[in-house]
Chains A and B, each alone.
Chain A
Amino acid sequence: MNASLLFFLFFALILLALLLLAARSAKQPSRPSVDAFESLSQSRHCSRLSQIQQALRPEDSEYLRDSGHAGLMHELRQQRRRIALMYLVHLQEEFEMLLEISRALAVMSPEVVGMQELERWKLSVTFAINCAYLRWRLRLGLQPASGFTLLSNMATEITRQLDNATTRIAEATVSGAEQSALGRKKINGF
């Protein structure tokens, strides 16, 4: 087997697999964009971050061990980890919703910045990886704090990008309206 044969066969097989995936997914009905925008008004899970952090602090449950209730402390920590896992699921849903809105904005936007789209794509991949990593850390009872901060950073970054995009769209709409008004004025003044 030489490099040429390996390259062409491997590449062709990868393309066939991706074609199957893409063609199957293309049949899925697209989510109405207005729904995504409406979901912005729902409550945010990110706002519960500090409570979750507080619940996962060791000093928050260590007093139980000091008072001779080590079993109770372990049970409490397990319960809090379960809550943190549920929180993580909701955080992921919120992140997905923000991504959905970003996509809808990009589709409706008269101009899309490639680097920002690429950055958002990288963020979503990193978020998925970190989310899975953090989930396993929680299940194994390891330190989750830095992971939560990382995920929160990503959500913030996505929100910042969305804000930039909406501002650009709003500016384009206003400038379009002004130009058409100017055009009308010129026609009337002619």
Chain B
Amino acid sequence: MVEPLQLRDLAWAFTTFVKCALLLQLVRRKFLDDYPWFCTYVASAIVQTLVVAIIYQTPGLSELVVWRLAWGSQLIVVCFRFQAVVELIRKILGAYLGIWALAWRLLFGVGVLVMANSLVFSKGDWYWISVNVDRGLELSMAAIIVTLLLFARYYRLPIQRLHLALAVGLCLYSTFFVVDYTLLEKHVQQFAVFWGFLDVLTYLATLLIWLNAVSFYPKLATQLTPPVIPKELYGKLSSELNLRLYHLNKQLSQLFRSEDRHW
């Protein structure tokens, strides 16, 4: 029977292979210019895997040092992922000048609020600080992506399939990371190896979503621009709305006078 540790190592190796394939596809399909932060994030994740593997193989390092190095490198990767999220938001909303100003304030507010709440609800122990910041950032990113998609849905903004897949992948991994880590922290310390396996599996699923998107979804050469309404139509629309306003107000003033006598 295969041990959980061996399974996790296998999954880890396969994940690294998929990450390399993803980076290769990103380079091959010339995503470096259009999505520099996303590419940097994938590259940093590969480097982190190598760094963590070397740390674990190096003899004589104390458990605390290994812990700090591993989670410290994770924080760097998460920061790159955060930049990738910002990049994606710009790609989706950047063309709409009017709502962009509103959107970035809203998304920034959501991010800060969720991050602050995460830290308030986290353990106070300094030993867990990097982990708590990491979890807060992950939850914050997930909340920002969900808000972005809801915002785009409300304004009926078109989202490219590629962008949607990247956003869903980023959000899914962040959310599952928070769930996995919260359960590990509180209940399943004794099943840490199994938890690690679940974490790797979640990440693998996300990588496969991205690999599929990067390989098969079309990358539009030009950014979609919002439609422009001619000046004549503005004038027509404005007068039509004024007429409606006048009629409604007239109706209302009649209604107010007769309201008390109603059924």
Q: Which residues of A contact B (CB under 8 A)?
A: 2-5, 7-9, 11-12, 15-16, 18-19, 21-23, 25-27, 30-31, 33-34, 37, 40-41, 44, 46-47, 49-50, 53, 56-58, 103-104, 106-112, 114, 117, 121, 143-146, 148-149, 152-153, 155-156, 159-160, 162-163, 166-167, 169-170, 173-174, 177
Contact = CB atoms under 8 A, between A and B. Distances in A.
A18 B255 contact: no
A46 to B, nearest CB: 6
Contact of A156 (B118, B168, B248): B248
A107 B259 contact: no
B54 interface: no
A143 B241 CA distance: 31
B29 to A, nearest CB: 23
Given A8-B121, A9-B179, A152 B255 contact: yes
B107 interface: no
A106 B155 contact: yes
Given A4-B122, A15-B139, A173-B231, 14 more contacts: A8-B121, A8-B135, A11-B114, A15-B146, A34-B229, A46-B251, A50-B254, A149-B255, A155-B248, A162-B241, A163-B241, A163-B242, A166-B234, A177-B231
Contact of B245 (A5, A19, A33, A160): A160
Given A112-B98, A117-B102, A143 B251 contact: no
B18 interface: no
Interface stretch (B4-12, B80-88, B157-165, B213-221): B157-165
B179 A23 contact: no
Contacts of A103: 154-156
A159 to B, nearest CB: 5
A60 to B, nearest CB: 8
Contact of B164 (A26, A46, A106, A156): A26
Given A8-B182, A19-B172, A145-B263, A47 B146 contact: no
A93 to B, nearest CB: 15
A127 to B, nearest CB: 14
Given A111-B98, A149-B259, A159 B244 contact: yes
A19 B143 CA distance: 9
B146 A163 contact: no
A130 B132 CA distance: 43
Interface string B117-150: 1100111000000000001000100110110011
Contacts of B31: none
B120 to A, nearest CB: 9
Contacts of B241: 40, 159, 162-163, 166
B252 interface: yes
A57 B260 CA distance: 11
B145 A19 contact: yes
B171 A19 contact: yes
Contacts of A9: 179, 182-183
Given A25-B153, A166-B234, A44 B179 contact: no
B179 A8 contact: yes
Contacts of B28: none
B175 A15 contact: yes
B153 A107 contact: no
Contacts of A170: 231, 234-235, 238
The 8 A-B pairs of least Cβ separation, nearest first, read: A145-B262, A22-B149, A109-B98, A30-B156, A8-B182, A112-B98, A58-B263, A166-B238
B201 interface: no
Interface string B201-231: 0000000000000000000000000111101
Contacts of A37: 229, 233, 237
